[in-house]
Structures are given as structure tokens and as C-alpha cells.
């Protein structure tokens, strides 16, 4: 049966890789293997050119509709409007190309992570080579500070430790070993005899044989997952595509009907009816919609940036607002990625770290300082996170580590060994004797203790004391607290043999220290707020089941009675097919001991349930799932460049609570886009109905120039200003919209219909009144006045209706109605531009309108104001029925 590298002995793996521990590979063998396996670099999928990216942007249906609108504008002689529309189209395309190019940085960042050099043994001597020149079978030398250049099977270890958080999610460096590992497919974090490409050596020395290079490494597998991750379409893009298709068919249908009816009546020429159909098409197309959506999203990104959420892809702003699942990495995201002393068991008391720690016969503080390799450089603690946490704890108690180290210099040591799980030091005392300090796993420590300290007395160890210590250890472990035991002995002389059997015996138990990678203080509240907003928060981590479950419980993600059922491991996930996982996925809130491909499967499973998933993470191992998720959220401070490159949003402060802030902003952006769409579509429907009825009635109709000017004046500034509206007070008390919700949901579609009909009806009423009760005698002047009053009413009614659109269902008579100063000025500017075409000499001739008198203006203004009154009454009825 085939064995994996971690299952083999050192001799077996060297034989499999056809390598020699003492001599390494020969130059000729290296050349042969380079030709066979290629360079030790990560492959990338073929990139599209800038021109291809640019052309791809024009395949969007809304863009095609806009380009048709531009052609129509040119056809009717409105070259300025055509230029404006095409400028919007080109700007959108350029922006799209920029965003796509940024997204391709993920793999490039992976490549830049690779170690630039490697120390190898070739032809019997140590050489320093470029890491890209490594081949399987190379013997690599490792020491503290090195970046692992390829996947290695360790064949020698001198207390070597590696930091693998970016790959496995482990929050502390891992002690490595060389012994074979049993098990068919252990998690990456459990493969203690393997060293993975791009992990860091934090302590000790080692020797490894290369077993995988380039795309055959674990990082290479991640690169492959990123390359093959499906590009997900955002809810915003889905909504706009759906809206574009609907508008296209409506526009074509109405234009064709009007053209056919007009020709059948025989009252108009072919050119006249073609122009009429074009006018209808121009009226129906919301030319400014893509620009308004882009501007609203851009304004949202600016607001988010001020609140530490950096948006890399514009549609992500709106996608955040519809998020239903937040799948979060634990280490560095939900937790601080910094070990901290939380509990102290001393003198048979379990105390919180902030409490006063009693002195014992041999101070526990001293043992923590002396049995420690932490260095303090310019005030910063450098070393193993567990050991730096012990020094930081002493610093917090104002206990001077430097003085203790100076008073009791180290004269000998027995280094940490992953087999015995202990570390010992021997320090000189002032009286000529020596202090032996031992720290490590409590169970291993207890095997070597014969006494313990209680109330400054050294007492013989007994079963009751052992039972108490073990019970305390178990209690802390179930709370995701990592426990270290401390013991000591006073020696008259330094042992002749510095080994465990000789040194670590007849010890005096001093106490336990409980440490944890603590949760961020603000996360529990953020999880609670997310729950109130109908968003489910999940934890996905490489950590052990108990640790993950305990942290999730502390954060309020799961209840006490859910620890057994709501937590699942990567090994258990492997036993489920994708279909089974999709069926069962809502049962789980915590995923422990997972690999990169598990994260992608989890995201996929939720997406199959129709959920919109946000995935947070900071490591290389998070990149594939960040890209697969509807929105990937990377950490800005601790996050790798790979995770940032694969993400849609980066948290500048690494604060999980910022995600909830971003969700609120996303919901606000969606609501504001929805308001703008309701405003634009109802206005355009009013224009279409006005032209349609005028055509059917045989009246003189508004010309394309009138419709284009109204659209230019009323669709631009007020619609953009609606994107600056503040969030409504209950935005985070509502459930997520879900994937199937659209901009027309939540009553917007019915509002568009009745408000559009209302706008058209009021405009037609004013036109009919002007014909029925003219202020002039000549037919030409009567028709000119009627057309001008219809033009003014249709434009002015839209400006008043913009106030209605500030809330889909809420009343405009509130304290916030006039709060948006940009909106107020947009209405004033739009009114001036609209009125100027009627009152300014020369302009009214250009627009083929007449100068209205005061009586006619009063009719126009009061008719337009009636729009606010009627809509307010309908909103009141809607709110009453909803109760």
C-alpha cells in the first residue's frame, strides 16, 4: 500500500526521494530533476490583455441599452447627450478594467511570498541557492528566522518550531518532530514531521528533504484553488442585469406599438412616427442609472473607508448589505492572535490574571521569567508567543524580568522536546547553590513531582493534590485555555548529565499558568448585532475542536448545549459528500481543524442554499474561500497580501466589528440605490405614459429634446443626492434581503407603477386643461402654451417627487427631510435649469416652448405639488395596513 511522506520513516522517505542525507543530490541529478519537475515557482492562469478586459465590459446589457440611447440621441440631433452617455459608458468600462486587474494580484502576492534563498546540501557541501532552483530530493538546512522554501519532510530536528498560522490557522508556533505519523489523512496542523512552503522557523534547527515544489506544495494547491475559483456574480450585478432585460423588452414593446398604431391611423408620416417611437425609447431609458449606481457605490466606499473598511470592488458595497452568512476565520480575526495569561493556579487557588498572585516558597514569577528564552529589544518582546505572554504578564505586575535574569544567571539547560513536552533551566543562586526550573505539560510534569507548595510550606505530593491539579487543568482546557505547569528544585551542584532522566526528577510543583489567544473585546457585541440583523456568524479555523468551540461559546456564537452538535471538524467534513454537506450545513456554527479546500466547500454549501456569504480571513489558506465567497473580507494589518488580493474588502483595523459597520453601510447603499431607481423609473414611466396617451389621442406630443432635457436636469442631481441620504433608523433591525430580492422588491415595483401613472395623469390633466381653458386666442399659441405647461409640469413634478423618494414608505414630514444639504441644492439647481428653458429669451426658442404667464405657472406648480400630497396619503395607508 502506498504511504504518504508523513507516514514514512526517515530512511524510507530518503529512499523514496532517492536522496542522501549526508551528501544531498549531485549537480547532474539536480539538472535532471529540474527538467522533470520544473522550477519551484507557483503557476498562474493565463491573463487576459487590457484590451480584452476593456471589450468585455461592453457585453453588459445595460451598457448596450445606453449605447443604443446614445445612437438615438445622435439620430435626433442631440449630440451633447450622446457624448455624455458615451462618457459614462467609457468611464464604467475603464473602472471595470482597473478592478479586474487588481483582483489578479492574489497569485502574484503568493509568488512574492516565496523564500528568496535556501541553504541546501549538494555534492557533500552546503550551498546557498535561489529557492526557485530547489528540486524534490534536495536536503535543506533550516534555522530560526528562515522561511521554508518548499514542502519538506523533516529528517532531523533540534527543538525546531514553525509558525504556520497563515496556512493552518494555528495561533502559536508548532513543535516539529521527525517520527512517522499514523493516520491516513491528518490535518495539515497535525503533520508534525512536515514543513510547509512559506511557513516561518521561529526556534531551533532542522534538516528536511524536499518532497514537493511549486504547484505540488500545499501553497501550490491553494494557488490552484484560487485559479479555479468560480467568479461569483454579485446581487447588484444580478439586479441590474434583470432590470436591464425588463426595461429593454418594455421599451421595444411600447415603441413598436406606438409606431404601428400611429401608422395605422395614417395621420403621421413614417419619419414623424419613427421620431415619436424614438422619443418614447429615450423617455423609457434611465440614461443616468449606471452612473448613479456607480456614484452611490463610490460615495459608500468613501464613508466605509472613514470607518476602516476599505472596498476593493465597488459592487461589494451593496453585496455587504444583503449578507446572510459571515464565515469568519478565528485566529487574528475573532481573536487577537496574541497569547495572554488569563488564569493562574497557585497555592491551590485558581485566580484571574488581574488578581493579586500570592508569593510562594519559590516565586512563580521567577520561574516564568527564568524558564524563558524571550528577548526584549527596544521595548518589544521577541520570541515564542507563549513565552512572550509570560514576560508580558510579569511586566503587567511591575515585576522586573531583567533584574531576575541578572540575579539568577542561567548556567545550563535541557531544551524543550516535543516527546517529553518539557523544558528545564539551571540558574545560579547567590548562596552558591542552583535553581532548577521546569515548565511544560501538566500531566508530564506531575509524573516527575514529589512535593508541592501550599501556604509557603513544602508538602509531600498526594493523590488529593494530584486530583485537584488535574481537575483544574481539565477545566481550563475545556475553556480553550492552554495550560503550562511549573515546578522547581534546589540543587547543590550542576548534574553531570544534562538529560531528562538525570535532571527532571523529585520536583516541587509550583503552579499552573493558563493562557489563551483572547477574543477581541468588541467581537461579542458585533456578533450580537449581526444576529439582530438576521445574519448568522460562523467560525472557520484550523484550531482544535475544543478550542474553537470554547471561543465560539464565549462569543455567543453557540450555546452551552450546542457544543457537541454545532461543532464539526475537517475530518468529519471529509466523510460527507458535497450534497450531504449542503443539506446539513445549517446545523453547524463552528468548523474546526479545516484545510483550505474545506473552506471553499463550506462557502459553496451555503451558496447552494441560496445564501449570500461573506468570508473573513487573514492567511494564505483563506485566499481561495475569500475569492469564492460573495464577498471576501481580508485583514489589513495581520492579513497576507495573498488574502488581500483575493478579497473584495479589507479591514484596515482588523476589527471584526467593522464588518457589522460595513453591513450597515451596505444596507444604506442598497436602500439609497433603491430610492434612486424608484425615483428614476417612476419618472420615466410618467414620461412614457404622457407620450403614449398624447400619441393615442392625436395631440401634439413632447419632442425628444424636451424629454432629454427633463431627464438630464431631473435624473442627474436629485438621483445622485438620494445616494447621500442617511441610513434609516431601523436598517439593522431588519432581516437580510436575500439573493432573490431585487431593487423592485419591498413595495418598490408597485410604487413605481402607481407613481409613474400619477405623474403621467397629472401632466396630461394640465395639458388638457390648457387646451380646454386657454389664455390666448390663436390655435398655434394655445397648443404652444399647452405643450409648454406639460413640459414644465412633467419636469417640476419629478423634482417634487424626489422628496417622496427619500423614503420608500416613510413620511417626508420628519426632522431629517431637509438634513441632506446636497439634495436641497440639487433641487434648486435642477429647478433653475428647467425654468431657464422657458423664461430665458433665446433658450425658449431653442426648446420650442413659449413664455408662461403667472396664472399658467401657478397651475403648473400646484399640479406638481399635488404629487407630494397624494403619495403621502398612499404611504400613510401602506404604513397603517402594515401594522
Question: By mean pLDDT, which of 197-201, 247-251, 720-724 is the weakest?
Answer: 247-251
Per-residue pLDDT, averaged over 779-799, amounts to 88
Quote the longest CA-to-CA distance of the chain.
126
Per-residue pLDDT, averaged over 720-731, amounts to 77
For the chain, the structural domain boundaries read 5-44+110-228, 50-103, 235-306+663-882, 319-336+520-654, 340-516
Instruction: Enter the CATH code of domain 5-44+110-228.
Output: 2.70.150.10
Is pLDDT of 182 > 60?
A: yes
Q: Going by C-beta distance under 8 Å and a sequence separation of 6 or more, which residues neighbour residue 18?
A: 137
In the prediction, which pLDDT does 480 show? 75
First to last CA, the chain: 69
* 380 CB neighbour count, 10 Å cutoff: 8
d(CA 379, CA 547): 31
d(CA 64, CA 581): 40
Is pLDDT of 852 > 50?
A: yes
d(CA 241, CA 350): 62
Contact, 142 vs 118, CB < 8 A? no
Q: In which band, very low, low, confident or very high, does the pLDDT at 109 lie, cut at 50, 70 and 90?
A: very low
- Pull the grid cell for residue 148: 521554508
Instruction: Enter the CATH code of domain 235-306+663-882.
Output: 1.20.1110.10
Q: In which band, very low, low, confident or very high, does the pLDDT at 881 lie, cut at 50, 70 and 90?
A: confident
Q: In which band, very low, low, confident or very high, does the pLDDT at 466 lie, cut at 50, 70 and 90?
A: very high
d(CA 882, CA 877): 9
Residues 476-518: tens digit of each pLDDT: 887 878 899 999 999 999 998 888 889 999 999 999 999 988 8
Task: Give the DSSP H or E segment for 582.
Answer: helix 578-584
Per-residue pLDDT, averaged over 217-230, amounts to 71
Residues 329-362: tens digit of each pLDDT: 787 778 887 889 999 999 899 999 888 887 776 7
Domain 319-336+520-654 has CATH 3.40.50.720: no
Question: By mean pLDDT, which of 51-55, 232-236, 276-280 is the weakest?
Answer: 232-236
Per-residue pLDDT, averaged over 563-589, amounts to 89
Per-residue pLDDT, averaged over 670-680, amounts to 85
d(CA 638, CA 163): 14
Averaged confidence pLDDT in the chain: 81
Residues 727-762: tens digit of each pLDDT: 777 777 788 877 766 777 778 888 889 999 999 999
Contact, 161 vs 176, CB < 8 A? yes
In the prediction, which pLDDT does 114 show? 43
Q: Which residues are catalytic?
A: 329
Of residues 656 and 140, the one with the higher pLDDT is: 140
Closest residue by Cα to residue 143 from 203, 208, 209? 203
HSE-CB at 6 with a 13 A cutoff on CA atoms is 19
In the prediction, which pLDDT does 449 show? 96
In the prediction, which pLDDT does 135 show? 92
Which CATH number is correct for 340-516, 3.20.20.70, 3.30.70.20, 3.40.50.300, 3.40.1110.10? 3.40.1110.10
Q: DSSP characters for 772-818? A: HS-SSSSHHHHHHHHHHHHHHHHHHHHHHHHHHTT-SSS-S-STTTT
Amino acid at each position: 500500500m502506498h504511504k504518504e511522506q508523513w507516514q514514512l520513516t526517515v530512511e524510507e522517505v530518503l529512499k523514496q526521494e532517492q536522496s542522501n542525507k549526508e551528501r544531498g543530490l549531485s549537480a547532474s541529478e539536480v539538472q535532471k530533476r529540474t527538467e522533470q519537475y520544473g522550477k519551484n515557482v507557483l503557476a498562474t492562469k493565463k491573463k487576459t490583455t487590457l484590451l480584452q478586459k476593456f471589450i468585455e465590459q461592453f457585453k453588459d446589457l445595460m451598457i448596450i441599452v445606453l449605447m443604443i440611447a446614445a445612437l438615438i440621441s445622435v439620430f435626433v440631433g442631440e449630440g451633447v447627450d450622446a457624448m455624455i452617455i458615451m462618457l459614462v459608458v467609457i468611464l464604467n468600462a475603464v473602472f471595470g478594467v482597473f478592478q479586474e486587474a487588481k483582483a489578479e494580484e492574489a497569485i502574484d502576492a503568493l509568488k512574492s511570498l516565496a523564500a528568496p534563498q535556501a541553504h541546501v546540501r549538494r555534492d557533500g557541501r552546503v550551498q546557498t541557492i535561489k529557492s526557485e532552483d530547489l528540486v524534490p530530493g534536495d536536503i535543506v538546512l533550516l534555522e530560526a528566522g528562515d522561511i521554508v522554501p518548499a514542502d519538506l519532510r523533516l529528517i532531523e530536528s533540534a527543538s525546531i518550531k514553525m509558525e504556520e498560522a497563515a496556512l493552518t490557522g494555528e495561533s502559536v508556533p508548532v513543535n516539529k518532530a521527525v517520527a512517522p505519523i499514523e493516520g491516513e489523512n491528518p490535518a495539515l496542523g497535525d503533520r508534525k514531521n512536515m514543513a510547509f512552503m512559506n511557513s516561518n522557523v521561529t526556534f531551533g534547527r532542522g534538516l528536511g528533504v524536499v518532497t514537493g515544489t511549486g504547484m505540488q506544495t500545499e501553497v501550490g494547491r491553494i494557488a490552484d484553488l484560487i485559479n479555479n475559483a468560480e467568479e461569483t456574480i454579485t446581487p447588484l450585478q444580478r439586479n441590474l442585469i434583470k432590470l436591464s432585460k425588463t426595461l429593454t423588452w418594455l421599451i421595444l414593446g411600447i415603441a413598436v406599438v406606438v409606431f404601428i398604431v400611429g401608422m395605422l391611423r395614417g395621420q403621421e408620416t413614417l419619419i414623424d412616427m419613427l421620431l415619436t417611437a424614438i422619443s418614447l425609447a429615450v423617455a423609457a431609458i434611465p440614461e443616468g442609472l449606471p452612473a448613479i449606481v456607480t456614484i452611490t457605490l463610490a460615495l459608500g466606499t468613501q464613508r466605509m473607508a472613514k470607518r476602516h473598511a476599505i472596498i476593493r470592488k465597488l459592487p461589494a458595497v451593496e453585496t455587504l448589505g444583503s449578507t446572510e452568512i459571515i464565515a469568519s476565520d478565528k485566529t487574528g480575526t475573532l481573536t487577537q492572535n496574541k497569547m495572554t495569561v488569563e488564569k493562574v493556579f497557585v497555592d491551590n487557588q485558581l485566580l484571574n490574571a488581574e488578581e493579586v498572585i500570592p508569593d510562594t516558597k519559590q516565586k512563580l514569577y521567577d520561574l516564568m521569567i527564568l524558564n524563558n528564552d524571550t528577548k526584549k529589544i527596544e521595548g518589544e518582546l521577541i520570541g515564542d508567543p507563549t513565552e512572550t505572554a509570560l514576560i508580558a504578564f510579569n511586566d503587567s505586575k511591575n515585576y522586573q524580568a531583567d533584574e531576575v535574569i541578572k540575579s539568577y544567571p542561567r548556567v545550563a539547560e535541557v531544551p524543550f522536546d516535543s516527546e517529553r513536552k518539557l523544558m528545564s533551566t539551571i540558574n545560579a543562586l547567590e548562596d552558591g547553590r542552583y535553581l532548577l526550573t521546569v515548565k511544560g505539560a501538566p500531566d508530564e510534569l506531575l509524573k516527575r513531582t514529589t512535593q508541592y507548595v501550599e501556604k509557603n510550606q513544602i508538602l509531600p505530593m498526594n493523590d488529593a493534590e494530584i486530583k485537584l491539579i488535574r481537575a483544574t487543568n481539565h477545566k481550563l482546557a475545556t475553556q480553550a485555555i492552554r495550560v503550562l505547569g511549573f515546578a522547581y528544585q534546589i540543587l547543590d551542584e550542576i548534574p553531570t548529565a544534562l538529560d531528562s532522566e538525570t535532571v527532571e526528577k523529585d520536583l516541587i510543583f509550583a503552579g499552573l499558568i493558563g493562557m489563551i489567544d483572547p477574543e477581541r473585546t468588541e467581537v461579542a457585541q458585533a456578533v450580537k448585532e449581526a444576529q439582530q440583523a438576521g445574519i448568522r456568524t460562523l467560525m472557520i479555523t484550523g484550531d482544535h475542536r475544543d478550542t474553537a468551540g470554547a471561543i465560539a461559546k464565549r462569543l455567543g456564537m453557540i450555546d452551552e448545549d450546542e457544543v457537541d452538535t454545532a461543532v464539526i471538524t475537517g475530518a468529519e467534513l471529509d466523510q460527507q459528500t458535497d450534497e450531504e454537506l449542503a443539506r446539513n450545513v445549517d446545523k453547524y456554527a463552528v468548523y474546526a481543524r479545516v484545510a483550505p479546500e474545506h473552506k471553499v466547500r463550506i462557502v459553496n454549501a451555503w451558496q447552494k442554499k441560496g445564501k449570500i456569504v461573506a468570508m473573513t480571513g487573514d492567511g494564505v489558506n483563506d485566499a481561495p474561500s475569500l475569492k469564492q465567497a460573495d464577498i471576501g473580507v481580508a485583514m489589513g494589518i495581520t492579513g497576507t497580501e495573498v488574502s488581500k488580493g483575493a478579497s473584495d474588502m479589507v479591514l484596515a483595523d482588523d476589527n471584526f466589528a467593522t464588518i457589522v459597520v460595513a453591513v450597515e453601510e451596505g444596507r444604506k447603499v442598497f436602500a439609497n440605490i433603491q430610492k434612486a431607481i424608484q425615483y428614476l423609473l417612476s419618472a420615466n414611466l410618467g414620461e412614457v405614459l404622457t407620450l403614449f396617451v398624447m400619441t393615442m389621442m392625436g395631440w401634439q406630443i413632447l419632442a425628444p429634446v424636451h424629454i432629454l432635457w427633463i431627464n438630464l436636469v431631473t435624473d442627474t442631481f436629485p438621483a445622485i443626492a438620494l445616494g447621500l441620504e442617511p441610513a434609516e433608523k431601523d436598517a439593522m433591525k431588519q432581516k437580510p434581503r436575500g439573493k432573490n430580492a431585487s431593487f423592485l422588491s419591498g413595495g418598490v415595483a408597485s410604487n413605481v407603477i402607481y407613481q409613474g401613472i400619477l405623474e403621467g395623469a397629472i401632466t396630461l390633466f394640465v395639458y388638457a386643461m390648457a387646451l380646454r381653458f386657454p389664455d390666448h386666442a390663436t390655435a398655434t399659441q394655445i397648443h404652444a402654451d399647452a405643450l409648454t405647461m406639460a413640459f414644465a409640469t412633467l419636469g417640476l413634478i419629478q423634482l417634487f417627487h424626489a422628496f417622496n423618494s427619500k423614503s420608500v414608505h416613510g413620511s417626508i414630514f420628519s426632522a431629517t427631510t431637509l438634513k441632506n444639504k446636497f439634495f436641497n441644492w440639487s433641487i434648486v439647481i435642477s429647478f433653475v435649469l428647467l425654468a431657464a428653458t422657458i423664461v430665458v429669451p433665446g433658450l425658449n426658442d431653442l426648446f420650442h416652448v413659449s413664455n408662461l404667464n403667472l396664472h399658467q405657472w401657478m397651475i403648473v406648480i400646484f399640479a406638481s405639488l399635488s404629487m407630494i400630497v397624494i403619495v403621502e396619503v398612499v404611504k400613510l395607508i401602506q404604513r397603517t395596513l402594515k401594522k
